[in-house]
Amino acid sequence: MTDRDAAPRLTASDRVYGAVAAVAIVLALWFLVRGGPADTSAPRITIVDPRPGARLTQPVTVTFDAKTLLRADGTDTTTSRHVHVDVAGAMLMPGPADVRPVRGTLYRWTLPSLPTGTVWLRAYWSDARHRPIPGPTADSVRVTVR
């Protein structure tokens, strides 16, 4: 048998790199199946006004407690999450100066023209890509818009 036919010998560095690769593959599979961490630190938004069952005329103003300080565009001052409102399936996002402070972490937002009829109005947190942040962070009320 010649040296060319002999199986190559593994060095210590080959074994270390192999172990690192194996751990990386296991972690990749874990995150693929389980997913990464969700933003569970988002506080629950509470709609203060309108109350459930309210009959509203346009323009509709929503008063909510964000339980955190917000910028005028509805963005949390400590993260990239921001407030959205869903009305009858339409996702609304505040403009640069739409969210007005009332006091503390209480804010008021006058919404653009809404569809008339009985609708669910839902306030929730979205991430930087405008995807709803999962978890018990939203609040909904059923109202009638005239």
Q: Which domains does the chain have, with CATH numbers?
A: 46-145 (2.60.40.10)
> For the residues 15-43, what does the mean pLDDT come to?
64
pLDDT value at residue 28: 63
Q: Is the pTM of this model over 0.85?
A: no
DSSP 30-84: HHHHH-----TTPPPPEEEESPTT-EE-SSPEEEEE-SS-B-TTSBBSSSS-EEE
Question: What's the pLDDT tens digit per position in 54-89?
Answer: 999 999 999 999 999 999 999 999 888 999 999 988
Chain segment 91-141, per-residue pLDDT in tens: 999 999 999 999 999 999 999 989 899 999 999 999 988 999 988 889 999
Q: Which pLDDT belongs to residue 15? A: 79
Pick the closest to residue 87 from 65, 66, 59, 106 (CA basis): 59
Summarize pLDDT for 10-22 with one digit per residue, the tens: 788 777 777 766 7
